Amino acid sequence: MPAFSQLLQVCRQSAPVTLAEVFSTYCKPESIMKLGEGTFGEAFRAGSTACKVVPFDGTSLVNGETQKKSEEVLDEALICLTLNNLRADRGDNMKENSCGGFIETKDFWVCQGPYDPSLISAWEDWDAKCGSENDHPNVFSSEQFYIVFVQADGGRDLESFALLDYNEARSLLVQVTASLAVAECACEFEHRDLHWGNILLDRDEIPDKNQTMSFTIQGKRMCSKTFGLNVSIIDFTLSRINTGDAILFLDLSADPALFEGPKRDKQVFR
C-alpha cells in the first residue's frame, strides 16, 4: 500500500480535509495563536491543544528545505503512537515500561489546500512580535498537502522558561532522564534532536511540593517529586524507534546540514 494511503488510514480518513475543518474542531478561528516554529512546520494553539502543521509531498522548498515525503510523516505519526502507548492508564500497573514524559498525541489529520486565513493571521501576529525565521505560509498552493499533529498543550519550551530553584532543575533532569530511559528499554527509542526548544514545561496552578510522578522501567515502579513542574518531550522528526513491527528512523546522513550548526550551539543527539 502506498505511504500516502497508509497515512490516511492511520488518520482514519478516506480523503484529505481542509485546515479550516481541522482547526474548527478544536476552537474558534479568531482564537488561534501561533506557539512556535521549526524548519519543517509551524505550531499553533487551538483551544486546549497544540497543533503542529507540516507540509509534505510538495515540490516547493519549505524554509530552504525539501519538503518531507509521505513515508517520513507516516513514520513520525507511528513514532507518536508508539510513545503514546508508554502512557500508563489509571490503575494500570502491569506495563513493563511506562512513563508520561512524552507529549500526548491526541489526533492526526491529513489536509490539502492553501494555508487558512486564520492561520496566516496568527502567523503574522507572531512574526510582528517575535520575528519569524520561516517563509510566509501564503506561498503554499491549493494542491499542497499537510499533516497536522494534534497534541496536548505542554506549556513553554525550556529556552523561554525560567526555573525558580534547584528543586525545579532537579525535577526537570529526573523527568527527562527517566522518560528517555523508559523509552529506550521499551522500544530502543533515540530522540536525536533533544535541544531546549524540544522540552516543554508547565507549572501546576497551585504547586504542590509533595506532588510526585511515577514511571516503570523493566517492571520496577519508581516515583520522584515534581515540585509542581510538569515536563514533556516533543518533536520526533529525527527520532529512531522500534515499534515491534519495524525500526523507523530518518537517515541523518542524508542531510549533512544537521551537523553544521554554529559553534558553541550544542545539540544533544540521544
End-to-end CA distance of the chain: give it in Å, rounded. 32
Residue 12 and residue 108: Cα distance in Å, rounded? 9
Is residue 193 part of the annotated active site? The answer reads yes
Residue 27 and residue 191: Cα distance in Å, rounded? 31
Q: Are the C-beta atoms of residues 171 and 158 closer than 8 Å to each other?
A: no
Q: Which of 193, 202, 208, 251 is catalytic?
A: 193
> In the chain, at which residue ranges do the beta strands (DSSP E only) sit?
33-37, 42-46, 49-56, 105-112, 145-152, 156-157, 199-203, 212-217, 220-225, 229-233, 240-242, 247-249
Q: Are the C-beta atoms of residues 109 and 11 closer than 8 Å to each other?
A: yes
Q: What are phi and psi of 9, to 5 degrees?
A: -65, -45
Residue 216 and residue 222: Cα distance in Å, rounded? 6
Tell me the catalytic residues: 193
